[in-house]
Structure 1
């Protein structure tokens, strides 16, 4: 076995086969002709139809053609007619080729002579509605919709030509997500475009024009005149940026200004296709740098694939993606789940004949995906099992990269990142996953594809459960979690799997495409928690295959624990009183005490408030007459706390529903090694202020989903699901007192104001404690009212000092948040921007 040689027999097969095709009918509706395999002239040839290099369909050459028989002297039933799908009636040039079922190219000719391919361009009457927004952060941005008045559609995917002085310099596709445009126009949200002008094309002054093609219609806002700094200016800016970390007060704002002025190559999440083209070819090299070589002994990998009535073109592409694997010691088990489609059956038989590593396992009766997969598992000979769907695609290095990781980590269950593939072959909607996140897996099957498991472990836990079809993979993963330790589950942070989008697939339509999957998922999670002895009720979130776990611990368990709520304040009495009254009004089912930490309040109003509060039951007031030091104030409060759990709460946070604290405490009761829980905090306008903290972004850390609508799911449901995170904010953070004291509490020497909560969370993690973001505990946060903005000139030097303390203290941790995929940028903007990782940075 060699990992550098791809599995490809196409050229040798084409050389051996005697194939011929003839095109004699070309019209707007379709293409007709005939094709023959002279090695098997009595059989009707099955052709792959490829459009723009992507398998679009399969056509059978079984139409009667007497005229062709006279030419070929073979069977007359060799004709075909292929109807060109509507999606290619887009006014663009497309290229059609044909291949035999095994992939061998079919040479074409026509009345005009030999031809390598058939080019066609089909259009329908439309107009273009499009705008250039301008230049932002080095990216030229805009949007375009092709409007079909007759059909009532406004679709993205418009091709945009960019010219400079009349000379073309770029061509981009307007297919990036623009929710604002969709709202304003009622059109397709996938209509945005962005273009990064490469260094070699820049001139000090440029006049760019933007045209929608093929109409050559100029966009609104075009032409666009822009200026770029000359090379000496860029060098000066770079030198100044390097000095900013030494300049404290001056540095922070200067660095932001200069970074905004200095263009850099950027890959926004909506620009995934461009990122994928640059990054996916580096996956094998990154894996080698990260994991080392492939195993010395080459395990057989059994790729199990249940098959039930896929689109024939998609199925052929799926099988091709397995045959092209750089790792060659595999078997592909195709389980025909009684599809009852002769053409599909014939295709599978032909593929199995062409490659002995492909095994066909037909079922007499349709049993569903679980039973079909179980048949494959029972027949599998491999040491390792890989799960594969009948119309999806593997990256050519998928098996190789996964096996490198298995060898290096000793993991027995591995999963990769994934994306989706359009019918055109375009990649979109990447799912960049966290490292193993058990709490997240309870709420949603975030692991999904590509999964590889040791066969021995699969046999121990049993196959898939047919009663849970639709969520059978979620159920299996949960059962594997019962068998394996977290250290035996490994996330391979590479996009190795492309999930096919089709009209009927969950990939395209979400949970509503397969409504039974919702109930099956609820049952899978409920059964798993029952086996673990955890009392809970599981229900779908909004009818999605995403679940809310409501723990059902008895009241005596919460009563035995109890919570001490610590609230620092200095004056701002009206706000502090509102905060405290909301706690007393809404908090149910949890015994608590309130500890008010008065940091040198001086107003008459404060004295009256403190006196009244001190007379309230389960309430303490501690006066701390010292300069503001958040860490020290809370450490003093902890020494007076009598309950098992500590809730650190800002006086500008307001609760408004009864079970906010119960939900946070229940998370701790469900997991003995859970050290802290953070709530979802919303600004007064209902948008997110905190939905977990991500390490390393912007230098030290940043809040996830700041500014997102409070009810929005966020990237891959991260804003709406419970999950393990690297850090949470102390504006509303429940901490197990035992864990807090074990790690020494807040750092009151070096981190008096900023990052003390992040520091505490990192210390907890390093000591083996978990942290969870709980989206169902929601409160309003009127951030920074009590002590102003950290980033004014007076306080900036202190902030920069604390920033440097964190960067030096946790140089090994900040860049590597295990719950934030390594392919996301650390420059800023959580879940918005990607970075291109070179092998040396892997």
Structure 2
């Protein structure tokens, strides 16, 4: 440890006194060791109680120390008592080999300088400590053309296994690349109880694609520790293969040059800075100062200022983080609040003294101590009982509120009339560094069944919180998810409002769920029970199970109704492919009565007639010949006119099913809620990568598929790729539609959208008619995209595509710009869930109160969909 950064000779004939630049504190720093310091300090203005000091490391509150250790050696100073000593061990977090700065301050934030031995004084202390750790990791080898592996830094003393290591790739002793092992690996987290963000992937650069094999070494830096499985030998494409690939690349490059030049010219006209998610800290530095202005533009002013009760259960917090949490409430720009701190039987004298001091210093802070530790649910229940405000804000004892958080929520409440409001959030570490932003969708009931995406910050009508009932202690860890579900049961969707700004910073600690979802499996199990209880209250039979190591669930409905489904499959030639598609449906599909309508759009292949005759002679199969130019919308509209059943399944002939319950699962999503108009599936390319996981409006112009190219088993952004959820649209490559919703929307557009965007247009019309669109993440099919009709972007089709693009922009321009299930902070340029943009407050539109939706309850009318109730017209007869 380095010496103090400043020095001054002290007068040994008098009691050592702190610098006059800050408050007058008597004290002395008499020991500085490798990872700790000790001394004594007292406030001469108030010697009746021990002095408490903030310990600041790198400008953040690391802890609070109380000077109450007995120091009999201080008799000669004639102090009222000798219990004035302190000892502080530097937290393991800061023993990372980097330089840090430590200083002391009073509880009100005034810097304290203490004299030390050899004449030094301590305004601040610079130190650099190194942990004792080792590395574990494995090179998995070549997976889907990419070298994959994982690496962990294992600290046995702290019980931590963390990712984020640097991996050096080299060949023949020459470095090629440096990787960061921070990709999500749920399998490693579940097997080892480790940080899931520990994986890496690497593709050899084109310059190394010479014929023959090459050997690559993978080392963990900076100590060059080889991974297990390294080195690895890879065989590159041969000369003829490379020539063919290069020819294709040249053709693609011609298109890319044109597209790039056009995009460059357009961006020059309307420049906009974007940040990738990895640059979130830079984005936050520019965006967060604009939050108050955006809030004012979006919601306007509020005439009244109702009391907001900020309730905070407290149980043995790190004192530095706790003080910072309280400070963030004290710093609120909204003036009418109270902070209720309920100590859940911590039995900690330091904490008790601190709570007493906080309540004494601020009359708006109220403290209650429970006689024994009863759990977070019981402590929160007591806080709700004590709350005097018209609204309640839920707050954890080590998190931080943005200074305008309460003002933003209360302005939003006045503008919308909402009774339950929530904001976006991110995570913050002990150094004050923010990361992992959670940009949330607007209210999404279906997602809430699979994931407590709402989480923080939540502000609710106090009457609603009490009406929903007490929090359940048996669900501690997921008690907030359970309470949210019970409140949602009592609300219409228009009474729930999302404030799309980062207003809450969730503290990352080594053991918290903020650090890793796998850290608290009991909380995830409690969450699954909470969702199951909610379904029982709704009268819907369902099953809920955890998804691996994540705090995310698979919620599936178990419904017996079988109203019947008509499967419509257009095709033109590609007879073998179509036959495989139909055969898979017939062989696999279980538990649903269905008919298949094959819509033959002028097939010309030699075996087309034979195929049509064979299929037409099969039970529940009909072939409709449509000898017209290709018009996807018209073909399907004709098919619907001939269909017999109340549910319609639109399907491409290059989609293949394998799960026997694929159609039952989609149908049950619709039967469970009469407000659901359409259900889409998760589609994967043959190589297992995502082709479709819901449609995002406005990305790339009109719309784009979410998570295209993501490995099929990966969760995606905030688990959106694996959780079932409401979306703005889904692809008609595999889409179940309620017939009454199809008819209310007027069917597919045959005039202006003959090929592209017709499914997006249909979904938007279905939503305009008052229905919802669901992405069913657990219905997984293979999609060999566009084999039937070819590529939209060849020379003969560019004009048609551009016309359909303009038709969508003219019809839905305003709606395409604001997808309610996709954060406005994401850029619409490039791919979905990738880049961020800083929103200019001048461009923010004022929010108006939402009218009640067609199905006014957020959970819709469950009474008409109780399992086992047979209805001839199916769920459509609301």
Q: Report the counterpart of residue 353 of structure 2 in structure 1.
A: 346
Using the TM superposition, give the Cα deviation of residue 285 of structure 1 relative to its aligned residue in structure 2, in angstroms: 1.1
SS in 2 for 1:811: helix
CA distance in 2, matches of 1:47, 1:663: 59
C-alpha distance 803-71 of structure 1, shift in aligned 2 (>3 A): farther
Q: Report the counterpart of residue 860 of structure 2 in structure 1.
A: none
Using the TM superposition, give the Cα deviation of residue 22 of structure 1 relative to its aligned residue in structure 2, in angstroms: 3.6
CA distance in 1, matches of 2:25, 2:72: 19
Q: Report the counterpart of residue 645 of structure 1 in structure 2.
A: 647
Of the three residues 706, 713, 722, the one matched with 1:720 is 722
Superposed CA deviations along residues 94-124 of structure 1, whole A, max 9, x for unmatched, are 2212123344433444454655322233357
C-alpha distance 683-305 of structure 1, shift in aligned 2 (>3 A): same
Of the three residues 641, 655, 658, the one matched with 1:656 is 658
Q: Report the counterpart of residue 444 of structure 1 in structure 2.
A: 451
C-alpha distance 254-623 of structure 1, shift in aligned 2 (>3 A): farther
Of the three residues 97, 100, 117, the one matched with 1:94 is 100
SS in 1 for 2:789: coil
CA distance in 1, matches of 2:196, 2:677: 44
Using the TM superposition, give the Cα deviation of residue 378 of structure 1 relative to its aligned residue in structure 2, in angstroms: 0.7
CA distance in 1, matches of 2:316, 2:32: 30
Q: Report the counterpart of residue 262 of structure 2 in structure 1.
A: 255
Using the TM superposition, give the Cα deviation of residue 62 of structure 1 relative to its aligned residue in structure 2, in angstroms: 2.7
C-alpha distance 551-787 of structure 1, shift in aligned 2 (>3 A): same
Is 1:433 the counterpart of 2:454? The answer is: no
TM-score by length of 1: 0.82
Using the TM superposition, give the Cα deviation of residue 265 of structure 1 relative to its aligned residue in structure 2, in angstroms: 3.7
Structure 1 window deviating more from structure 2 (84-93 vs 749-758): it is 84-93
CA distance in 1, matches of 2:833, 2:78: 60
CA distance in 1, matches of 2:265, 2:181: 28
CA distance in 2, matches of 1:394, 1:776: 36
Q: Report the counterpart of residue 463 of structure 2 in structure 1.
A: 456
Q: Report the counterpart of residue 40 of structure 1 in structure 2.
A: 46
TM-score by length of 2: 0.79
CA distance in 2, matches of 1:154, 1:346: 35
Is 1:518 the counterpart of 2:524? The answer is: yes
C-alpha distance 110-536 of structure 1, shift in aligned 2 (>3 A): same
List alignment gaps of at least 5 residues for structure 1: 1-13, 129-143, 159-172, 193-211, 216-247
Give runs of aligned pairs for residues 389-788 of structure 1, distance below 5 A: 389-510=396-517, 512-542=518-548, 544-554=550-560, 557-558=561-562, 561-788=563-790
CA distance in 2, matches of 1:444, 1:616: 43
Of the three residues 320, 331, 335, the one matched with 2:342 is 335
Using the TM superposition, give the Cα deviation of residue 47 of structure 1 relative to its aligned residue in structure 2, in angstroms: 1.7
Using the TM superposition, give the Cα deviation of residue 16 of structure 1 relative to its aligned residue in structure 2, in angstroms: 10
Using the TM superposition, give the Cα deviation of residue 146 of structure 1 relative to its aligned residue in structure 2, in angstroms: 12
Using the TM superposition, give the Cα deviation of residue 179 of structure 1 relative to its aligned residue in structure 2, in angstroms: 6.0
Q: Report the counterpart of residue 91 of structure 2 in structure 1.
A: 85
Q: Report the counterpart of residue 377 of structure 2 in structure 1.
A: 370
C-alpha distance 122-361 of structure 1, shift in aligned 2 (>3 A): same
Superposed CA deviations along residues 228-263 of structure 1, whole A, max 9, x for unmatched, are xxxxxxxxxxxxxxxxxxxx9997564257689999
List alignment gaps of at least 5 residues for structure 2: 1-19, 136-149, 167-177, 189-193, 201-219, 224-254, 845-878
Using the TM superposition, give the Cα deviation of residue 55 of structure 1 relative to its aligned residue in structure 2, in angstroms: 1.1
Instruction: Check conservation: 1:461, 1:480, Cα contact below 8 A.
Output: yes
Using the TM superposition, give the Cα deviation of residue 579 of structure 1 relative to its aligned residue in structure 2, in angstroms: 0.3
CA distance in 2, matches of 1:347, 1:49: 14
Instruction: Check conservation: 1:145, 1:188, Cα contact below 8 A.
Output: no
Using the TM superposition, give the Cα deviation of residue 76 of structure 1 relative to its aligned residue in structure 2, in angstroms: 3.0
SS in 2 for 1:699: coil
Give runs of aligned pairs for residues 166-177 of structure 1, distance below 5 A: 177=182
Using the TM superposition, give the Cα deviation of residue 66 of structure 1 relative to its aligned residue in structure 2, in angstroms: 5.8
C-alpha distance 106-249 of structure 1, shift in aligned 2 (>3 A): closer
Q: Report the counterpart of residue 326 of structure 2 in structure 1.
A: 319
CA distance in 2, matches of 1:314, 1:176: 28
Alignment RMSD (CA, Å)? 3.4
C-alpha distance 91-546 of structure 1, shift in aligned 2 (>3 A): closer
Number of aligned residues: 745
Using the TM superposition, give the Cα deviation of residue 601 of structure 1 relative to its aligned residue in structure 2, in angstroms: 0.6
Using the TM superposition, give the Cα deviation of residue 175 of structure 1 relative to its aligned residue in structure 2, in angstroms: 8.2
C-alpha distance 301-174 of structure 1, shift in aligned 2 (>3 A): farther
Instruction: Check conservation: 2:565, 2:645, Cα contact below 8 A.
Output: yes
CA distance in 2, matches of 1:549, 1:606: 42
CA distance in 2, matches of 1:839, 1:174: 38
C-alpha distance 674-189 of structure 1, shift in aligned 2 (>3 A): closer
Superposed CA deviations along residues 146-179 of structure 1, whole A, max 9, x for unmatched, are 9899999986489xxxxxxxxxxxxxx9989456
Q: Report the counterpart of residue 134 of structure 1 in structure 2.
A: none
SS in 2 for 1:721: coil
Instruction: Check conservation: 1:102, 1:350, Cα contact below 8 A.
Output: no
CA distance in 1, matches of 2:293, 2:267: 32
Instruction: Check conservation: 1:303, 1:386, Cα contact below 8 A.
Output: yes
Using the TM superposition, give the Cα deviation of residue 312 of structure 1 relative to its aligned residue in structure 2, in angstroms: 1.7
C-alpha distance 335-148 of structure 1, shift in aligned 2 (>3 A): closer
Instruction: Check conservation: 1:174, 1:190, Cα contact below 8 A.
Output: no
Using the TM superposition, give the Cα deviation of residue 68 of structure 1 relative to its aligned residue in structure 2, in angstroms: 5.6
